[in-house]
Amino acid sequence: MFDSGAFRGSMPALVTPFKDGAVDMAAFSSFVEWQIAQGSHGLVPVGTTGESPTLSHPEHYAVITRTVEVAAGRVPVIAGCGSNDTATAMAHMRHAQSVGADAALIVVPYYNKPSQAGLIAHFTALAESSKLPIIIYNIPGRSVADMSVETLAVLARLPNIVGIKDATGNIARVSAQRAACGADFVQLSGNDDMALAFNAMGGVGAISVTANVAPALCAQFQDATLRGDYAEALAITDRLYPLHAALFSDASPGPTKYALARLGHMQPDVRLPITQPSEASKAAVDAALAHAGLT
C-alpha cells in the first residue's frame, strides 16, 4: 500500500460507465488506463460522481476490484466506502482492503443527520474495524451534517484517519483544519473551482470531477501548485474554470458523461434519478471543452 504522503495531486472521482443498463467494464478499464497515462496521481472509484447511490453492492465491489487491477500499483486507489449505515461502510471497507485498495473515502453519513458525537462514534468504529487509511469526506451540501473542525481534530488523532476531502465551500476551513489537525494531515479539495486557493492555504490536492475530462491539465495544475508555481497554476485555472462550472450545469455526473462521450471514452448513459443534461448544459460543456483546448 501507498504511504499516506502519496495521497496528493490530481485524483479523479471516477465516473462509472454504463451500457444497456449495466456497468460497462470494458469502457471503464480503458478509462482507468487513460487516466493513468494522462498523469492522474490517484484514482477514486465509486464516489458520488461514480453514481454509487444507484450501484448494487456487487457492482460497487466489481468497480473497485477492476480499478485496483488496472492500476496495478502504479497510483494509489482510494475506494469509495461511505454509507449512512456504519455496518455497511464496514463491509465496503472489508472488500476494499481485501482486493488491495490503498485507502477508503468515507463520506459523512447522509440523511441520518448524526450529531458531532455520532460522527465521532461512526468514524471511530470504522477506523477500529480496518487497517485501511481513511480519508473523511465532508460535503454538507449533500449529507446535511457538517463535521466541525473540533470533531475532525478528535478523529485526526486516530492513526489511520489520515486526511479529509473538504467540499464545504468554506476556504477558511483549510487553515482552521491545518491548525487543529497538523500540517501533515492530508487536505484534499472537493471543489475544482476552489482548488487553487485551497492548495495555497495548505491543501495538497483534489479529488476532482473535472479530472475525469481533463486529466492531463488537472495533473499539470496540481504539479504546479505543489512546486509553488502559482502563476502556472493560475494560467491552467483560467483554461479550466469554464469546464469546472459546466460540469455542474445540470445534475452530476450527467454533464461529465456527456463530455466523455464527446471525447470518445464511453456512452453518456446515467441511471435514474439522474437524467441526461439539458441542451443548455450540453452547450456549456461544448464551449468549455473548446475553451480548454480539448476539442
Rg of the Cα trace of the chain?
Answer: 18
C-alpha cell at 242: 469554464
Say whether 257 is catalytic. Answer: no
Angle at 12 between CA 259 and CA 58, to 5 degrees: 95
Check 137, 257, 258, 282 and give the catalytic one: 137
Nearest to 255 by CA among 291, 213, 198: 213
Check 61, 110, 165, 282 and give the catalytic one: 165
Say whether 111 is catalytic. Answer: no
Q: How many CA atoms lie within 13 A of 247 on its CB side?
A: 24
Measured from the Cβ of residue 138, the count of other Cβ atoms closer than 10 Å reads 23
265: enclosing H helix or E strand: none
The residue type of 245 is A
CA-to-CA distance for 97 and 133, rounded, in angstroms? Answer: 10
Using a 10 angstrom Cβ sphere, with 0-12 exposed, 13-18 middle and 19 or more buried, the burial of residue 228 is: exposed
C-alpha cell at 152: 475532525
Active site residues: 137, 165
